[in-house]
Homo-oligomer: A and B are copies of this chain.
């Protein structure tokens, strides 16, 4: 029996989640849940998957899904996930507000226990698979320093922050690694009518999202913006440290990826793990560092051990 997955949201991540579910041997995507006013739009993005205005509508056709992939904006995740978990749905999300993860786990844990369900939260690539790398690097060399160098690539969080500034009609923010886990920001802005570039630049410079890093703000037209806003991203994670008393241990993880495609794939792999954890009688809120890696992969555990260990 394939795992029945529902996708909530048809934004950047949701579209790629549908594609990722399509190639898995053990999943079926039973439907996408969208705002009522969006139904019928962008039918090509659905790739033949049925769309519904609510989980209840979906269930009336396909029964209860084994897991719901939450492809909504991060700020909405705690509320949406909490509600579903309390009602007994397993959920996965790629919540990415690092400094609110611990508080979010507390909230989801209570609801998950109440609903006897499993959440895997912060299950994208950072937080997510990068978090697993950071944990492994420390397990291999407990004394040392890890640098997580992001980019070059578009930061969704910084782009949203720039768009919120007065006088900005649209913006995209590119993260450029400077080494040592530090970054500069290259922000392309489209001005609103009547706004001046110097005032907008000063406002971005003063915003707490940008004030700590070197900043380069450039003005572009509405037509030019899409030409610089692609989904390329990456990370260079470096640790030099000591295993026991032996120094000069070097670890590097370098990744160059399409950002939403990877996020969606990690969500789907995590959805598999969430269902397996629930099937083994577990409930609660997990992050990827709480999950046995073998649960992320299709197939039998012992076959994966024979192949990968």
Interface size of A by Cβ–Cβ distance < 8 Å? 68
**Which of B102, B136, B246, B305 is in CB contact (< 8 Å) with A306?**
B102
Contact status of A262 and B243, CB under 8 A, knowing A102-B305, A129-B140, A309-B98: yes
Chain A interfacial positions (CB closer than 8 Å to B)? 16-17, 19-20, 22-24, 98, 101-102, 105, 122, 125, 127, 129, 131-136, 138-143, 242-246, 248-258, 261-262, 264-266, 268-269, 287-294, 296-298, 301-302, 304-306, 308-309
State the Cβ distance, A133 to closest chain B Cβ, in Å: 8
**Which of B132, B138, B265, B301 is in CB contact (< 8 Å) with A290?**
B301
A294 & B24 in contact (Cβ 8 Å cutoff): no
Chain B residues within 8 Å of A254, by CB: 250-254
Q: In the assembly, what is the distance between CA of A219 and CA of B305, in Å?
A: 39
Chain B residues within 8 Å of A132, by CB: 132, 136, 293
Chain B residues within 8 Å of A22, by CB: 244-245
Chain B residues within 8 Å of A293, by CB: 132, 135-136, 139, 289, 293
Residue of A136, A243, A292 ringed by the most chain B CB atoms within 10 A? A243
Q: In the assembly, what is the distance between CA of A269 and CA of B138, in Å?
A: 9
Q: In the assembly, what is the distance between CA of A262 and CA of B243, in Å?
A: 6
Q: In the assembly, what is the distance between CA of A169 and CA of B252, in Å?
A: 38
Q: In the assembly, what is the distance between CA of A142 and CA of B22, in Å?
A: 12
B244 & A141 in contact (Cβ 8 Å cutoff): no
Q: In the assembly, what is the distance between CA of A232 and CA of B108, in Å?
A: 45
Would you list 13 pairs from A and B whose C-beta atoms are within 8 A, ordered by A residue? A20-B244, A101-B309, A102-B305, A135-B296, A136-B296, A139-B293, A139-B297, A140-B269, A141-B265, A243-B264, A243-B265, A249-B262, A253-B253
State the Cβ distance, A300 to closest chain B Cβ, in Å: 11
**Which of B98, B141, B268, B304 is in CB contact (< 8 Å) with A135?**
B304
Contact status of A294 and B289, CB under 8 A, knowing A139-B129, A248-B258, A262-B243: yes
A140 & B125 in contact (Cβ 8 Å cutoff): yes
Q: In the assembly, what is the distance between CA of A253 and CA of B235, in Å?
A: 12
